[in-house]
Chains A and B, each alone.
Chain A
Amino acid sequence: MKVKFILNGKPVELDVDPRETLIDTLRLRLKVKSVKRGCERGECGSCTVLINGNPVVSCILLTIQINGAEITTVEGLVGDILLEKLAKNFIDNGAIQCGFCTPGILLTAYAGIKQGKIKKSEDVKEYVNNLCRCTGYVKIIEAIAKTANEVWGHER
């Protein structure tokens, strides 16, 4: 089936098997490597992408379902001011270990902050439900909360 979408600002047109998942299209056809395969059941969030600005897991989504949509991954946010802020705080705060969950968590946090759903520390725990097995989340939550504070100007 023919499908058209925008990937990181560039139009894409593909002929895909109707059973093909978005993660496979992105990784295997389009070589978007930041989208990580963790569970393939929509549980872990490692394959998160932004669809029209909202975080969605790409492993349980069929590619034909996103016809006409705008897809964003971290590759498309190089140079973006909000992502750069998040990146800086993740690095300075030591919020990265193995890095497998990192792109997915960054995208979730990016959308949450941009949409005003994450403004303070407690919001992070409510909004970011991606799994991470290395960090214990402490430094991730701090880094996201710090970024939200820089954007929204709330204390703590």
Chain B
Amino acid sequence: MEDPVKILEKWISAESYIVVGKDISRVDALDKIFGRAMFTEDYFVDYMIGNALFIKQVLSTYPHAKIKGIDYKKALEVPGVVRVITAHDIPGENQVGYAIPDQPLLAEGKIRYPGEVIALIAAVDFEKAFKASEEVLVHYEPLPYVLDPLEAMRRNDILVHDERGSNIAFTTRVRKGNIEEGFSKAHVIVENEYRLHHQEHAYLETEAALAIPESEGRVTVIGTIQYPHLGQRIVSRVLGVPASRVKIVAPYIGGGFGGKDDEGPLVCAKAALVAYLTGKPAFLIYSREDSIRIHPKREAAIIRYKSGADVNGKLTAIDVTIIHDTGAYANRAPFILWRATMHASGSYEVPHAKVDGYAVYTNKVYQGSFRGFGNLSIQFAAERQMDLLAERLGLDPVEFRLRNILKEGSYTITNQLLDHSVGVAETLKKVAENADWWKKREEYKKFNEASQRFKRGIGVAIGWHGISTSRAVPDWSNAYVKVELDGSVVVYTGIVEMGQGSPVSSHAQIVAEALGVPLEFIRVVQGSTEAPDSGATHASRGTGIGGIGVLVAATKIRERLTQLASRILNVDPGEIEFRDGRVYWRRNPEMGLSWRELVREAYARGIELSATGYFFLPKGKFDDTIGQGFAYPAYSYIVLIAEVEVDTWTGDIRVLRVYPGLAAGKIINPKQVEGQIEGAVVQAIGYTLMEKLYFDDKGNIVNTNFTDYVIPTAKDIPEIYKPVFVEDKYRYGAFGAKGVGEMAMIPGPASIVNAVAFALGVNITFTPLTPWSVLELIGVLKGRCST
């Protein structure tokens, strides 16, 4: 059996599992505890000191300016400086734009945001590189600049990209049914403008790369990157060498959350460029300040949302405009915007929908991937609207959601039929019961009537998130598995471990299930371009999709060994079991042999024990001009109910309790999934209550450190209850798994803000809810501090 679809079916329909669905401890835990797990800077520490060059980046200090010249004579005079590299030195192409070819690796002709990289200094130590960076004189001709996306949309006299003739980088649209007809049937209509802000990833490990030149013009780069094969393509383009000469290795990564999907290839390309041009190993590590200034952020969004519902509490129409502050470069803006556009309805049936999306250039740091990928901001708007419509209809928010919720047989606003794997309704019901929703709504109403200073609230929000790439954008799973003569197993994958427990643990778990061998027998070689292109570690796809190739390859090997064991034991191949490092006859487990013996036999008898596993995700057609058709292969769903307490004297909000529920197909490792939910909930609390990037009037980010950009600490966390799992298996996922990593981030802000709005009895259309803005909301302060 070599057909991947049949292999997937076989595993999804298995009656029981050995290790899948169990709380397996991480295989990398001990190494991480004792500092033995190697992160990028650790490779530098190991063998490069005194041999490698340090790189310092020269950043632009203007938001928008022509570069009239770069004078670095004085920088070269600093002792120990080996080379200064600008756009002119790039041997290949200086073009690294992800979706649109609009972005240079090193600024060329003009700069478009403060923090844009203009030159690279290579010196024998960091101090000398730093000193030299201050001796680089960039002659600017400042240009008028635009920071506000609404202004940028209107103006054609200031263009971030002159050649494009407009600041609108990209547009999207959905047209379903007829919204006039839909709104005419509405009993209540709610209309709001929502404002969502940037978010900094704040992974504790900043971006870094070590590039090592090798023979035959090859280069190896060890770097903080979420998609090594994308890094390989970009490095090869910048250097002008074939991809086969470029090897990228992602070691352990100290947090990614999407940020290292965007910046990873660029940090690798910059280090590779220096190594290639100087012939020496080159190391680049971003300071925290540089990291915050340079790398892309979660999109800031303006969302105009009008929605209506009829007397029966059914949604009739939505009319939505989404404007993303894209910043200086498009990067992934089209994909982020498409995701927002296609998810604009929330996880509900809406018969008539009109959605328009605009990605707009401004002279600020550009937007990129961040856990949720355009979906957090749109679900915030959609889920606020649901609460407001419910209130107008006099319906309970949970009840109103249940009347409209997606189920098997529903059509989305892209008119995609959801034919299976839609467990959201059941999840919502269970989470509401868990949280004692109806009782607490009443309790807190009474509490708030009696309490002057403190107000309590409980709020619900749902997130849905298409897994894999959108529309007909190809997606595949790919891995290589080999069994050594001693029975140990090695897995090769390009999926990277950045904290989520995949692939180092989850892929080992998949192999342990497929071959019945102990986890100690298995090693996962992760994040390497030496593995087949496994796609990126993003979009919550590492285990559910990334794991398919591993499962397929391991199953091919299992099938070959089953045939062999059946011949040796002289029993039916359908009655062979693989378990606990043994292969035996199910009817009489005494009859069998050890895994190791069987492997030796296979080697002796000429049976191939290495295999690749490949699966190309089946997708459908999509019409970009009207946003209709097949949007995603399947959707994961999450429900969060949050309880808050607001101190109306100080404006301080505390999230007290969060109840999560997840419908993400088969849960392969419940403990790791809990960790993903808890981590995302706390990131969402940060986004909703404290995290905000402040820009000055020239587009500089003002708060470039953790004193001024405040992320949650252990003191800020609520009680997070055990999640409810509704295992709505997806037919093309490994064991029926969908995606998990991003999920709790998506409805996190909406659930908290819905609770705060309930507590205070006010409408809230923005984040973050800092103490100042809360005091403004309730009228204690007026116009003292803009939000």
Contacts and interface: CB of A to CB of B under 8 A. Distances in A.
Interface of A: 27-28, 31-41, 43-44, 46, 73-75, 78, 87, 90-92, 94, 96-103, 106, 124-126, 128-129, 131-141
B369 to A, nearest CB: 15
Interface stretch (B26-34, B414-422, B600-608): B26-34
A141 B257 CA distance: 22
A38 B204 contact: yes
Given A27-B41, A43-B707, A94-B674, A100 B255 contact: yes
A154 B252 CA distance: 37
A94 B671 contact: yes
Interface stretch (B215-223, B467-475, B545-553, B680-688): B680-688
A153 to B, nearest CB: 23
B500 interface: yes
B32 to A, nearest CB: 3
A99 B32 contact: yes
B734 to A, nearest CB: 20
B678 A91 contact: no
Contact of B714 (A38, A97, A124): A124
A92 B201 CA distance: 28
Nearest to B203: A133
B28 A33 contact: no
B254 interface: yes
Interface string B303-327: 0000000000000000000000000
Contacts of A90: 29, 33
Q: 9 tightest A-B contacts by CB?
A: A34-B35, A99-B32, A98-B499, A100-B254, A136-B682, A97-B499, A136-B678, A43-B706, A94-B671
B23 interface: yes
Contacts of B178: none
Contacts of B678: 135-139
B44 to A, nearest CB: 9
Interface in B234-285: 252-255, 257, 285
Contacts of A27: 41, 45
B499 A99 contact: yes
B717 interface: yes
20 contacts: A31-B45, A33-B38, A33-B42, A36-B39, A36-B204, A37-B205, A39-B288, A41-B707, A75-B34, A91-B26, A97-B679, A98-B499, A99-B252, A132-B204, A133-B679, A134-B255, A136-B717, A138-B678, A138-B682, A139-B675
A39 B705 contact: yes
B499 A44 contact: no
Contacts of B713: 129, 131, 137
B435 interface: no
A121 to B, nearest CB: 10
B702 interface: no
B49 interface: yes
Contact of B252 (A37, A98, A128): A98
Nearest to A19: B127
A34 B34 contact: yes
A41 B706 contact: yes
Q: Is the interface of B mostly helix, strand, loop or mixed?
A: loop
B35 A73 contact: yes
Contact of A136 (B38, B498, B679): B679
A40 to B, nearest CB: 6
Nearest to B501: A97
Q: Is the interface of A mostly helix, strand, loop or mixed?
A: loop
A46 B41 CA distance: 14
Contacts of B202: 133
A94 B35 contact: no
Tell which of B34, B35, B202, B714 has the most Cβ of chain A within 10 Å.
B714
A102 B37 CA distance: 11
A110 to B, nearest CB: 11
A42 B306 CA distance: 47
A44 B706 contact: yes
B205 A94 contact: no
Contact of B33 (A44, A87, A100, A126): A87
B32 A102 contact: yes
A141 B680 CA distance: 16
Given A92-B25, A126-B715, A135-B679, 17 more contacts: A31-B45, A37-B206, A39-B204, A40-B287, A41-B288, A73-B35, A91-B30, A96-B29, A96-B32, A98-B252, A99-B37, A100-B203, A103-B34, A106-B33, A131-B713, A136-B683, A137-B713
B205 A100 contact: yes
Contacts of B257: 133
B287 A136 contact: no
Contacts of B288: 38-41
Contacts of A134: 255, 499, 675, 679
Given A31-B46, A99-B252, A133 B672 contact: no
Contacts of A31: 45-46
A137 B681 CA distance: 11
Contacts of A74: 33-35
Tell which of A28, A103, A134 has the most Cβ of chain B within 10 Å.
A134
B30 A87 contact: yes
Nearest to A78: B34
Contacts of A43: 705-707
A1 B715 CA distance: 41
Contacts of B25: 91-92, 94
B680 A94 contact: no
Nearest to A92: B25
Contacts of A97: 255, 499-501, 675, 679
